[in-house]
Structures are given as C-alpha cells and as structure tokens.
Amino acid sequence: MNVPHIEPIPNPLQHQRDFAPSAALDAEVNELLTHYPEKRAASLMVLHAIQDQFGWISQEAVEWTAKKLELEPINVYELVTFYPMLRQQPMGKYQIKVCRTLSCALGGAYALREHFCNKLGLDAHAHGPQTTKDGKFTVEFVECLASCGTPPVMMCNDDFYENVSHKKADEIIGGCR
C-alpha cells in the first residue's frame, strides 16, 4: 500500500537567538507556577509574562516555556499559534489595530488600513500584521473592538479612536513620531 506523502506544516515561529529571560522573569514564572495545581495550567500566564518582557513569542521562548512547565514544545507551540493575542513575530513600538468586523468593514476599515499601509510604506495587500523596517509601527486588522456604531474604529497601542477619517489617521501617525 502506498502511503501518501504529507508535507509538514511549516513552523511560523521566528528565532530569537539572543533570547535570555531576565532573573525577574524567571522569578515571576516560578511564582506563577505556585498558583496552579499543575504546571501546565499556568501555560498562558507564563506566555503572557514572556510577551510582556519581549513583546512576542519566539521559537526559543516556546522551548524555554516547555522546559519550565515540563511539557513538550508542541504543547506550547499549539497555544502560541491558536491565540491571536500571542504574537509570533516582533511588533512595532506603535501597534495600529483597525477593526475589520462587519460594521467597520462597511464603514471604511479596509480603506483606512490601506491608507495606513500606504503612508507607512507597507504592503496594503499582504495578510497579517506588518511592521515598518524601523520597527516603529505595526499595522494589522483585528476583530470587533466593541464600538460598532462609530465605524471605522481603531486602536493605537492603548488609545481608542472612533469615526477615524484619513485625516485623523495622519494625525495619529504624526502623534507617534
């Protein structure tokens, strides 16, 4: 019987050769583990702690976490690739998130994202988060930001904006420079 050849799924995680958790992070993780009956139950909290320090989760971070939690890397990898709030690549200093759910999609979200991309020299037609070469801005679509009556809606880091015109978008970028 011929066994069909199945292509392996590519690992989307990037490498971070200089990944070195600080003593404070190590202590924080050790402390977190004391709150759970099983180390595995702390997985998401540990990943959030790592992301707070580094801004994203690398292959090396996955391996370190797996060792800490006495798991296989695949057990951590599946979380990182499942939860969109866990970042698989370095993010810009300013993270621009444009809502693309129905109300905002109808209210100009696609044109708004394209405007940001054009202004920042990013490919407006590429999928997923895109970061400027200087590491300053990341632009991405997100799902509903819970203000569906005032589209298009977006966030820049923790700041929330509604009814965002292209002129307003330019002001937001200008305020980040």
Nearer to ligand FES, 33 or 148 (CB): 148
Q: How far is the CB of 12 from ligand FES (least distance, A)?
A: 26
Residues that bind ligand FES (CB under 6 A): 99, 101-104, 144-148, 151, 153
6/1 Cα distance (integer angstroms): 15
Nearer to ligand FES, 20 or 102 (CB): 102
Q: Which of 102, 111, 112 is nearest to 148 (CA)?
A: 102
Q: How far is the CB of 174 from ligand FES (least distance, A)?
A: 24
Calculate the CA 30 to chain-centre distance.
24
Q: How far is the CB of 140 from ligand FES (least distance, A)?
A: 14
Nearer to ligand FES, 68 or 97 (CB): 97
Q: How far is the CB of 64 from ligand FES (least distance, A)?
A: 36
Q: How far is the CB of 106 from ligand FES (least distance, A)?
A: 9
DSSP one-letter code for 42: G
Give phi and psi for 155, each to the nearest 5: -130, 150
Burial class (CB in 10 A: 0-12, 13-18, 19+), 19: middle
57/166 Cα distance (integer angstroms): 32
Give phi and psi for 88, each to the nearest 5: -100, 5
Nearer to ligand FES, 36 or 110 (CB): 110
Nearer to ligand FES, 63 or 162 (CB): 162
In 23-177, where do the E strands start and end? 94-99, 130-131, 137-142, 154-156, 159-161
Residue 103 · residue 146 · CB < 8 Å: no
